[in-house]
């Protein structure tokens, strides 16, 4: 029997509950004991039965569709320090955990892999200090981990979709549809800011799905003069064709070619000054992260949860930590470290103003 724990970490995303449910039930189905670590890495650092709880089949009843994460999540500073990871290691051994599945974004998954890599030295230190018994030391020489990617941003390389991104996209489209009605009535322009951190996926997909007039994403920066001219030309042409409303979608991470942010206020000012449009700004905010998971996220989270349990059961000290991805509609395992590295190199390329490289890296498929 193995004792498999699941944890959610970083920003919550619809479908995380479905993922936790699938991991717990798949673990039990395979004859293992299932545990949930509450409140992300901070629960692991604090430890004890309040934070590391055994979960039974019925504990996750009704979780499939629910948004957010019922086991809590946190952005934890302590786990970034070695002492925090040492405490987490001790707490896991005390709870008898052999394997950990982490559902989160790239930062959370990097933390998981570092924890696994450091594990032998952590248990050796605990053993030396007499904080764990020789028996515990022998039984926990290796930690199997696996990542499932939960984030509304869809910003992880090596996977086509992250758990939550399609629910968030649906929510954004619904909100823009509401705005459409009022924009049309008053012949107004609306500048709508959507989430996504440094990734333009949500903005781009929402813009296409709602037939926005113009979209700003971090992956396609241009100078203020260029974007102002281009946007005004397009919006004016749409108005000339009789369109009564204007919708401009701005990704929260949108940047100009000098890497300064393009804000909704910048865009509004241009629409007002040059096109004399009555313009309002709407920041959708955390509404984009809430609500039930759409069918796709429920399916993705469930299939990936089952795949994650298989992966930790098959893992050996020699195999690199896996991340469960979806590539061309197939659930596959990818090496976690490589996927995170690729995701980080996109950010580095953007910082170095090498946009062509950033886009090709984001599009590139990591080959195992």
| Binding stretches for ligand F6P (CB under 6 A) | 11, 105, 151-153, 195-197, 252, 289
Whichever of 275 and 281 has its CB closer to ligand F6P, that residue is 281
**Smallest distance, Å, CB 253 to ligand F6P?**
8
Q: How far apart are CA 45 and CA 304, in angstroms?
A: 26
Distance CA 195, CA 202 (A): 7
**Other CB atoms within 10 A of residue 76 CB:** 21
Question: Nearest to ligand F6P by Cβ — which residue?
Answer: 195
Q: Which structure tokens are listed for 177?
A: 């549809």
Residue number with CB closer to ligand F6P (26 or 165): 165
Listed in order, strand segments (DSSP E) in 197-274 are 214-216, 246-251
Give whichever of 35 and 166 is closer to ligand F6P, judged by the CB atom: 166
Of 221 and 253, the one with the shorter C-beta distance to ligand F6P is 253
Cβ 289 to ligand F6P shortest distance, Å: 5
**Complex with ligand F6P: residue 34 or 255, whichever CB lies closer:** 255
Q: Is 153 a catalytic residue?
A: yes
- β-partners of residue 146 are 101
Residue 100 to residues 8, 20, 171, 187, 257: CA-CA distances in angstroms? 11, 12, 31, 53, 42
Q: How far is the CB of 240 from ligand F6P (least distance, A)?
A: 35
| Contact present, 339 and 326 (Cβ < 8 Å) | no
Q: How far apart are CA 21 and CA 16, in angstroms?
A: 9
Q: 113, 153, 213, 297: which is the annotated catalytic residue? A: 153
- In whole angstroms, the minimum distance from the beta carbon of 136 to ligand F6P comes to 36
Decide whether 198 or 245 has the Cβ nearer to ligand F6P.
198
Per DSSP (E only), the strands in 150-262 are 189-194, 214-216, 246-251
Give the Å distances, CA to CA, from 237 to 184, 230, 231, 279. 17, 11, 10, 17
In whole angstroms, how close is the CB of 361 to ligand F6P at the nearest point?
19
Write the burial class of residue 300 (CB in 10 Å: 0-12 exposed, 13-18 middle, 19+ buried).
Answer: buried
How far lies 19's CA from each of 63, 82, 108, 110, 137, in Å? Answer: 9, 29, 16, 19, 31
How far is the C-alpha of 87 from the C-alpha of 99, rounded, in Å? 16
Catalytic positions, please?
Answer: 153
């Amino acid at each position: 029997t193995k004792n498999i724990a699941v944890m959610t970490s970083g920003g919550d995303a619809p479908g995380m509950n479905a993922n936790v449910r699938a991991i717990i039930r798949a673990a039990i189905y395979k004859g293992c004991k299932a545990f949930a670590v509450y409140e992300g890495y901070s629960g692991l650092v604090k430890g004890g039965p309040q934070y590391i709880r055994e979960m039974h089949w019925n504990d996750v009843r009704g979780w499939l569709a629910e948004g957010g994460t019922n086991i809590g999540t946190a952005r934890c500073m302590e786990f970034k320090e070695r002492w925090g990871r040492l405490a987490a290691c001790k707490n896991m051994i005390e709870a008898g955990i052999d394997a950990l599945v982490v559902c989160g974004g790239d930062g959370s998954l990097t933390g998981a892999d570092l924890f696994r890599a450091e594990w032998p030295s952590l248990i050796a230190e605990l053993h030396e200090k007499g904080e764990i018994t020789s028996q515990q030391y022998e039984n926990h020489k290796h930690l199997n981990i696996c990542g499932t990617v939960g984030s509304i941003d869809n910003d992880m390389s090596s996977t086509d979709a992250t758990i939550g991104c399609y629910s968030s996209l649906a929510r954004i489209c619904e909100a823009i549809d509401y705005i459409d009605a009022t924009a049309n009535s008053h012949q107004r322009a609306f500048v709508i800011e959507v989430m996504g951190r440094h990734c333009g996926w949500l903005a781009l997909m929402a813009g296409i799905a709602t037939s926005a007039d113009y979209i700003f994403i971090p992956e396609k920066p241009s100078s203020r003069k260029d974007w102002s001219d281009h946007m005004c030309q397009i919006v004016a042409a749409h108005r000339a064709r009789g369109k009564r409303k204007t919708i401009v979608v701005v990704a929260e991470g949108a940047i100009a070619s000098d890497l300064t942010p393009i804000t909704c206020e910048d865009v509004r000012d241009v629409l007002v000054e040059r096109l004399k449009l009555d313009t309002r700004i709407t920041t959708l905010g955390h509404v984009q992260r809430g609500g039930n998971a759409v069918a796709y996220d429920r399916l993705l989270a469930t299939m990936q949860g089952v795949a994650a349990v298989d992966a930790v059961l098959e893992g050996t000290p020699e195999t690199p930590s896996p991340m469960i991805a979806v590539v061309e509609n197939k659930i596959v395992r990818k090496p976690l470290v490589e996927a995170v590295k690729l995701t980080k190199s996109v950010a580095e390329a953007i910082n170095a103003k090498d946009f062509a490289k950033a886009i090709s890296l984001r599009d590139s498929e990591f080959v195992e």
